[in-house]
């Protein structure tokens, strides 16, 4: 089996890395839409359009057997469209993260941080309440500055620590014991968040998604191909890519080649 993974930029590489380490012989293809990042401030219609184009690129060029939407905004806005219009399985990051959070929380107080679009969509709050048999209190917070800080490589930086506290103190004060990192950039900040709030259980969808992939019953014995594609050159992408997954080559594709009908 081959797996196609897409994201608006570099954040989805945390998901790519997790899957790659678990299924080392599976062929994997990743595309980061660096020409149109971020998705978090765009409309639902635009996110669906972009997601359809990226999924079709992976299917048309590499005949992937599974699409992983490694973007919380796209998972919030486009997952139903993709599932209903593609002929192969599609897995997003929202449901795995929500399921994991429910299994971990002890006091049924769960925090969610993400982009403006992810929080506005209420995708996590809706699925948390739908999946939980107990009453949940869900506290959400949009954290738009965290993505550019990660992409600038300011992972363990005083400025980032100040911004994290500015965003998270409010929901931590509500007594949450579990925090969903509702953006695939955020797992890079886990050590920093854990340092500030050691009491929190952090939910990383890039880890939670593994169980969902295993349930599909994939063929684990392919060639182990790893290809990375971007829609525009990005030095920050290269820096974080090298930090997360090493020196896998990056190939630039023309945006026009995936936007044409």
| Residue 16 to residue 143: CA distance in whole angstroms | 23
Q: What are phi and psi of 189, to 5 degrees?
A: -95, 5
* Catalytic site positions: 71, 183
CB 8 within 8 A of CB 205: no
Residue 36: phi, psi to the nearest 5? -125, 10
Instruction: Name the 3-class secondary structure at 178.
Output: strand
Is the backbone of residue 118 left (phi > 0), alpha (psi -120 to 50) or beta?
alpha
Cα angle: 218, vertex 18, 257; to 5 degrees: 80
Q: Outline where 78-139 has alpha helix (H).
A: 79-85, 94-104, 116-121, 123-131
Q: How far apart are CA 91 and CA 94, in angstroms?
A: 9
Give the span between the Cα atoms of 223 and 150, in whole angstroms.
Answer: 32
Phi, psi of 173 (to 5 degrees): -65, -20
Classify residue 200 by its DSSP letter. Answer: P
């Amino acid at each position: 089996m081959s797996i196609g993974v897409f994201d608006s930029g570099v954040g989805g590489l945390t998901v790519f890395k997790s899957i790659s380490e678990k299924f080392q012989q599976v062929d994997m293809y990743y595309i980061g839409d660096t020409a149109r990042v971020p998705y978090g401030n765009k409309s639902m219609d635009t996110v669906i359009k972009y997601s359809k184009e990226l999924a079709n690129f992976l299917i048309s060029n590499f005949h992937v057997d599974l699409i992983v939407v490694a973007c919380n905004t796209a998972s919030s806005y486009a997952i139903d469209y993709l599932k209903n219009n593609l002929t192969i399985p599609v897995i997003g990051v929202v449901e795995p993260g929500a399921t994991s959070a429910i299994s971990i929380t002890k006091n049924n107080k769960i925090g969610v941080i993400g982009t403006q679009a992810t929080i506005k969509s209420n995708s996590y709050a809706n699925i948390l309440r739908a999946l939980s048999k107990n009453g949940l209190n869900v506290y959400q917070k949009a954290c738009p500055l965290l993505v550019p800080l990660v992409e600038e490589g300011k992972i363990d930086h005083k400025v980032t620590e100040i911004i994290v506290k500015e965003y998270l103190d409010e929901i931590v004060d509500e007594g949450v014991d579990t925090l969903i990192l509702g953006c695939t950039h955020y797992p890079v900040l886990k050590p920093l968040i854990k340092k500030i709030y050691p009491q929190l259980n952090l939910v990383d969808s890039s880890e939670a998604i593994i169980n969902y992939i295993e349930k599909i019953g994939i063929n684990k014995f392919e060639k182990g191909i790893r290809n990375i594609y971007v829609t525009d050159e990005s030095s920050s992408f290269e820096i974080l890519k090298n930090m997360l997954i090493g020196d896998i080559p990056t190939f630039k594709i023309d945006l026009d080649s995936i936007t044409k009908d």
